[in-house]
């Protein structure tokens, strides 16, 4: 059954929340009195539909339905989650919570996107305080996985558990802070860096571009995959964190920062920073910068996913949870109908899979087929554990036919037919589709090998039996068009 979320406030953050819920299969109900809200959210949705599907390796569920409502009462009917993303004014937020108290379902989570207010300030005076939590995201909400879930003793265990479960279910990471503090955790780091950056600009030490380069070419990349303490632990070498602290602990007393000394925030400073920022990035529109940002984030997180690390590991876990819903089998008993070609790949073409012609590059057809082969291997039992024991399949020959083009953001599926599976050989046929449109075929001959000798060897009995079982079930299928075909016209 489709779940429903209400978004109260459809600005940049509210629109991002709407995209995250909608693209993860939830229906979304929006309240925002701004007459431009629908247009603004539609623009955020365009970017999210372009970027988010390519982040993972499993197709997203069917998109939910989004509706706009004239009142908060109408927007929150029957919802399981309410996300408040109105401007950072406590009086305005409390006005919204007054209406939510009157109309929101009793079991729903009420999350606030506030970057500064403590949950106790939001809960004060309301009879449904147990439902109100801080759920602070980062922009763009549909790509950045962190959500700071901040609670108080007023929150019920059921609401806390539900909040964390829902955040996880839409592919995000709930960082549960059980003790509240102004600006939570992550924004306090950002504020410290921001204040130091203001002084560096004001004192003429560095320009806005130079400061950004120090972050994006240096510690920013390290922080993206290891955070602060793990990065410094590595910096300590074999002796670890203790050695690092012994080396750099004395620096805490040195005048390296003006952290507690804030520069006067006046027009002169504003003009200086704004002018430098215009010179740095003014040749791009905001939407262009957003797309550049999204492309970079997808590429970085996909790279992290290849090593099952950081935000990439979180996405891998989300993909794994989505596999069954996408129809991808984990083992032979999961295959819905073994007499038909097996679904071995269901995904969206990522942004980095396209070439200078604007369509999926030829190497990525092989990549998609190789992943489909890996899925088939896992289905027959040739999984990571089996490979670690010393057996695997090596590809001996491949023939790919590129039949039609496909573009970034388009959904593709690969279905696999086993032609032969007895003995050392695995002869398989892949067909790639977008809907009913055939995009490519791949014919592959693989040999089972002993990884110790690196030579062909018989597979384990259960591996061969599973492969033969599929081959016999597929033997009644028509021979694929193009099977055994060589390149070009026959001589």
Q: Are residues 101 and 223 in the same domain?
A: no
Answer yes or no: is 150 a known binding residue: no
State the Cα torsion 477-479-481-484 to the nearest 10°: 140
pTM score:
0.84
122 close to 94: Cβ distance less than 8 angstroms: yes
How far is Cα 176 from Cα 165, in angstroms, rounded to an integer?
A: 11
- Flag whether 197 is in a domain: yes
- Does residue 208 share a domain with residue 125? no
Q: How distant is the alpha carbon of residue 210 from its chain centre? A: 29
> Do both 15 and 142 map to the same domain?
yes
Quick check: is 363 in a domain?
yes
Q: 453: domain range? A: 327-474
Comparing CA positions, the residue from 259, 269, 265 lying closest to residue 201 is 269
Smallest Cα–Cα separation from 347: which of 304, 377, 302?
A: 302
* Residue 96 annotated as part of some ligand binding site: no
Residue 321: inside a domain, yes or no?
Answer: no
Asked if residue 140 has a cis previous peptide bond (ω within 30° of 0), the answer is yes
Question: What's the CATH code of the domain at 446?
Answer: 3.10.129.10
Both 40 and 175 in one domain: the answer is yes
What CATH number is given to the structural domain containing 234? Answer: 1.10.1040.10
Return the exposure string of 88-110: e unless at least 16 CB atoms fall within 10 Å of the residue's CB, then b: eeeeebeebbebbbeebeeebbb
Same domain, 343 and 256: no
On whether 236 is known to bind a ligand per the annotation, the reply is no
Assess if residue 291 is contained within a domain.
no
Query: Do residues 417 and 335 share a domain?
Result: yes
Q: Are residues 63 and 205 in the same domain?
A: no
As given in the structure block, the two tokens for residue 14 are 């509210």
The last residue of one of the domains, among 140, 155, 184, is: 184
Annotated binding-site residue? 9:
yes
Q: What percentage of the chain has pLDDT greater than the value 70?
A: 99
Higher per-residue pLDDT: 325 or 182: 182
Q: Are residues 390 and 412 in the same domain?
A: yes
pLDDT band for position 489 (50/70/90)? low
Contacts of 221 (CB under 8 A, 6+ apart): 300
Domain count, the chain: 3
418 plus 348 within the same structural domain: yes
Predicted confidence at residue 491, as pLDDT, reads: 54
Q: Identify the residue with better confidence: 43 or 244.
A: 43
Residues 81 and 205 in one domain: no
What is the overall mean pLDDT for the chain? 93
Chain segment 268-291, per-residue pLDDT in tens = 988 888 888 888 888 988 888 888
Segment 294-300 mean pLDDT: 89
**Assigned domain for 81 exists:** yes
Is 11 annotated as ligand-binding?
A: yes
- Domain boundary, last residue among 184, 202, 226: 184
For range 403-418, the mean pLDDT = 95
- Examine the domain organization and report whether 17 and 106 are in the same domain: yes
**pLDDT above 90 for 247:** no
d(CA 422, CA 429): 15
Q: Tell whether 220 is in a known binding site.
A: no
The answer as to whether 128 is a domain residue is yes
* pLDDT computed for residue 490 by the predictor: 58
Where among 283, 310, 337 does a domain terminate?
283
Shared domain check, 160 and 25: yes
């Amino acid at each position: 059954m489709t779940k429903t979320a209400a978004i109260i406030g459809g600005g940049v953050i509210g629109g991002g929340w709407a995209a995250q819920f909608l693209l993860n299969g939830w229906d979304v109900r929006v309240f925002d009195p701004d007459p431009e809200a629908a247009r603004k959210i539609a623009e955020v949705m365009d970017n999210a539909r372009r970027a988010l599907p390519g982040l993972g390796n499993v197709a997203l569920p069917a998109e939910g339905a989004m509706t706009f409502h004239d009142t908060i009462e109408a927007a929150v009917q029957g919802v399981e989650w309410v996300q408040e993303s109105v401007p950072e004014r406590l009086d305005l937020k409390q006005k919204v919570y007054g209406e939510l108290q009157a109309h929101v379902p009793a079991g729903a989570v009420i999350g606030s996107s506030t970057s500064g207010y403590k949950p106790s300030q939001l809960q004060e005076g309301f009879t449904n305080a147990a439902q109100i939590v801080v759920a602070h995201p980062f922009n763009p909400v549909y790509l950045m996985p962190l959500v700071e879930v901040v609670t108080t003793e007023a929150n019920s265990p059921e609401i806390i558990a539900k909040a964390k479960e829902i955040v996880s279910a839409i592919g995000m990471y709930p960082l549960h802070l059980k003790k509240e503090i102004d600006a939570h955790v992550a924004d306090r780091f950002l504020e410290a860096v921001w204040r130091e950056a203001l002084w560096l600009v004001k004192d003429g030490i560095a320009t806005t571009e130079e400061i950004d380069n120090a972050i994006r070419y240096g510690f920013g990349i390290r922080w993206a995959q290891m955070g602060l303490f793990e990065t410094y632990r590595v910096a300590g070498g074999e002796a670890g964190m203790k050695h690092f602290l012994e080396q750099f602990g004395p620096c805490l007393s040195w005048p390296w920062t003006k952290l507690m000394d804030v520069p006067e925030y006046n027009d002169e400073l504003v003009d200086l920073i704004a002018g430098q920022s215009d010179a740095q990035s003014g040749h791009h529109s905001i939407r262009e910068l957003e797309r550049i940002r999204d492309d970079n984030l997808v590429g970085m997180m996909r790279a992290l996913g290849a090593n099952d690390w950081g935000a990439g590991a979180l996405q891998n876990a989300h993909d794994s949870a989505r596999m069954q819903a996408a129809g991808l089998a984990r083992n032979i008993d999961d295959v819905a109908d073994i007499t038909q070609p097996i679904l071995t790949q269901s995904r969206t073409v990522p942004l980095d899979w396209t070439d200078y012609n604007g369509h999926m590059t030829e190497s990525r057809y092989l990549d998609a087929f190789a992943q489909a082969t890996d899925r088939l291997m896992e289905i027959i039992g040739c999984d990571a554990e089996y490979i670690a024991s010393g057996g695997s399949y090596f590809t001996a020959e491949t023939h790919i036919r590129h039949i039609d083009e496909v573009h970034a953001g388009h959904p593709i599926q690969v279905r696999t037919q086993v032609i032969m599976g007895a003995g050392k050989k695995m002869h398989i046929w892949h067909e790639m589709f977008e809907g009913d449109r055939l995009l490519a075929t791949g014919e592959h001959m693989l040999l089972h090998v002993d990884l110790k000798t690196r030579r062909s060897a018989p597979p384990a009995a259960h591996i061969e039996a599973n492969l033969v079982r599929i081959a016999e079930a597929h033997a009644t299928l028509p021979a694929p068009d193009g099977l055994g075909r060589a390149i070009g016209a026959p001589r």
